[in-house]
Structure 1
Amino acid sequence: MNRQSPTIRPKRNWRVWWQLLRPHTLTASIIPVLIGTALAFPVHRIDLLLFLAMLTASILIQAATNMFNEYYDYKRGLDNEQSVGIGGTIVRHKVSPRTVMGIAVAFCAAAVLLGVYICMNTSWWLAVIGSFCIAAGYFYTGGPVPIAYTPLGEVSSGLFMGLGIILIAFFIQTGTVTMESILISIPIAILVGAILMANNIRDREGDAKNGRKTLAILLGHEGAVRFLGGMFAVAYLWILILVLTGEASPWLLLVFISLPKAVQAVRGFTGKTRNTEMMPAMKFTAQVNTLFGFLLALGLFLGQYTG
């Protein structure tokens, strides 16, 4: 007696949609808003609604960027059912590509509406900057020459998601940009770029086969791991120098509590050749950004009360 195999239906539970957001990357949009607001706290009374609008818009743009990445990786054949990591929702869980693109566009539209609210209460010049941020998110993997296919990915993500968001978050609360806000934003920009570097180290071989020329590919595995270690070193030394020169409160040295995670990340990549072996190192890199950022924000808050 022949038995027909039951039809396997793709999962549609909340975990699939959560993975589509790539949650481990979302701290790259949350931390800069917290830092910018923490910098503004001693300068001006914080507008809670503007803070929440900025935080939500930042998260939406990051999530939309992840979905654009998902969509175009699928369209270009980079994702398959054997892909490592939480990408590949379209091929593994059979989510419609049009659905992914539709959600991404909807997230961008929602971010634009929040941006209009922010501009109405601050400056319409922010509309120009916000447009560049959204465009950068799209053109990271979209367009004829995606940023992800070049060595500029880390610089682009650090510039827009690190430095840019911190300065916008600071500006909407204070109406200005200071040298302190710029200096404090540098290590966060570096660590945001480090998240992408970690991802590119893991995917280096596959990316090379598909025509990408990321910084990790140009440097090779060992060179890219050393570069990642250098990024961590500069971020921590930057804070140390700011404290030693009196530009920042000694409370900012709290960020060094996160240093063991940075060491774990570098060691996690060292000598590894398989994608699956490097997954923990990617996780550690994202955790460095999260811990460093929260500790930096805490140090800024404590510094104003004890300085």
Structure 2
Amino acid sequence: MASVSEWIEGARPRTLPNAVAPVVAGAGVAIALDGFSWWRSVLALLVSLSLIIGVNFANDYSDGIRGTDEHRVGPLRLVGSGIAAPKAVLTAALVCLGLAGVLGLVLVTVSGHWWLLAMGALCILGAWFYTGGKKPYGYYGFGEIAVFVFFGLAGVLGTVYVQAGRVSWAALGCAVAVGCFSAAVLTANNLRDIPTDIESGKRTLATRLGDKGTRRLYLALVGVPYVIALLMGFFIHSLAALPILSSSLLFVSVSAIRHDATGRDLIPALRDTGLAMLAWAVLAAVGLNL
């Protein structure tokens, strides 16, 4: 039976910046639009956290029962390692996704924007079918697109809209930037797993692009947010370019990607990319409101 610490590790806490960053950036834009509500931001954050923990457990369960986690290099997998029963991990996934649905329903109800229910349902379905079902889209190279949409566009724009009732060009810029960071985190993860994914038949975008192509994709993805920061600084005001300062957190990660690091040597790249994403979001929220 898995211990509490193993369950926490199985929830993959290093991925939590992917859930926090879109809400922080969205809240910052909502402040700039004079529509900020702290409790709606908290609700949005709880939805986002429940969703990402749910998708992590769902991924653990689905990959585990397929046998694709048996020789994985990265963090602990509960089912793949055999320390937790598949049914227990499935239950944890469904509880988290259900909680995301309930909290999302509350947020939609208080905001009065009922059409957002469709977006919420799509996010939950996307979380499950990433590696669940007979034909999981994560096994066909669509994972990066999904995290860009769900933890970038939907996360940021949804957070802004339930508070301000509208979006802006700054909101869209932040959404694209955070989405690119989220996709970069997954790209680094899939780059590390290319050998084991090929062996298990998991056709991620990284296995399709190959090692060199995946490294180029990562560098492009982490470059886009800083182009957006420069554009915000030019078209909004100079302090809106403050997110550029977060680039210092990527030096080690970019170096590892450029110098052909593999296996465990790529694990810090996931951490640093997530931290850079969170720092970018915080600095954007501050810069847009100075």
Please give the TM-score of this superposition, normalised by the length of structure 1. Answer: 0.89
Cα distance in 1 for residues equivalent to 2:47 and 2:285: 20
1:296 aligns with 284
SS in 2 for 1:53: helix
Deviation for aligned residue 1:155: 1.2
1:227 aligns with 217
User: Is residue 259 of structure 1 aligned with residue 234 of structure 2?
Assistant: no
Deviation for aligned residue 1:287: 2.0
1:205 aligns with 195
Give the counterpart letter for 2:244 in structure 1. F
Q: Would the aligned equivalents of 2:229 and 2:244 in 1 still touch at CA under 8 Å? A: no
Summarize the alignment of residues 1-307 of structure 1 with structure 2, pairs less than 5 Å apart: 11-12=2-3, 14-80=4-70, 82-92=71-81, 94-122=83-111, 123-244=113-234, 246=235, 248-272=236-260, 274-302=262-290
Which digits, 9 at most, give the CA deviation of each residue in 1:126-166, with x for residues without a partner? Answer: 11110001111111111122121122211110111111111
Cα distance in 2 for residues equivalent to 1:21 and 1:185: 25
Cα distance in 2 for residues equivalent to 1:283 and 1:45: 32
Give the counterpart letter for 1:253 in structure 2. A
Q: Would the aligned equivalents of 1:44 and 1:173 in 2 still touch at CA under 8 Å? A: no
Deviation for aligned residue 1:183: 2.5
Unaligned runs of 5+ in 1: 1-9, 303-307
Cα distance in 1 for residues equivalent to 2:35 and 2:167: 16
Cα distance in 2 for residues equivalent to 1:55 and 1:296: 17
Give the counterpart letter for 1:90 in structure 2. V
Give the counterpart letter for 2:195 in structure 1. E
Which digits, 9 at most, give the CA deviation of each residue in 1:222-264, with x for residues without a partner? Answer: 22112211111222112212322x1x33223222222133232
Cα distance in 2 for residues equivalent to 1:290 and 1:184: 12
Q: Would the aligned equivalents of 1:272 and 1:278 in 2 still touch at CA under 8 Å? A: no
RMSD of aligned residue pairs (Cα, Å): 1.7
Deviation for aligned residue 1:84: 1.8
Deviation for aligned residue 1:97: 1.1
Unaligned runs of 5+ in 2: none
Cα distance in 2 for residues equivalent to 1:291 and 1:254: 10
Q: Would the aligned equivalents of 1:70 and 1:87 in 2 still touch at CA under 8 Å? A: no
Q: Would the aligned equivalents of 1:225 and 1:266 in 2 still touch at CA under 8 Å? A: no
Q: Would the aligned equivalents of 1:40 and 1:174 in 2 still touch at CA under 8 Å? A: yes
Number of matched residues? Answer: 289
Cα distance in 2 for residues equivalent to 1:188 and 1:27: 10
Q: Would the aligned equivalents of 1:139 and 1:146 in 2 still touch at CA under 8 Å? A: yes
Cα distance in 2 for residues equivalent to 1:200 and 1:129: 26
Cα distance in 1 for residues equivalent to 2:156 and 2:166: 12
SS in 1 for 2:154: helix
Which digits, 9 at most, give the CA deviation of each residue in 1:30-78, with x for residues without a partner? Answer: 1101111110113234322222111101100010000110001101101
**Structure of greater relative contact order (alpha carbons < 8 Å, 6+ residues apart):** 2
Deviation for aligned residue 1:273: 5.8
Cα distance in 1 for residues equivalent to 2:181 and 2:44: 20
Identity of aligned residues (%): 27
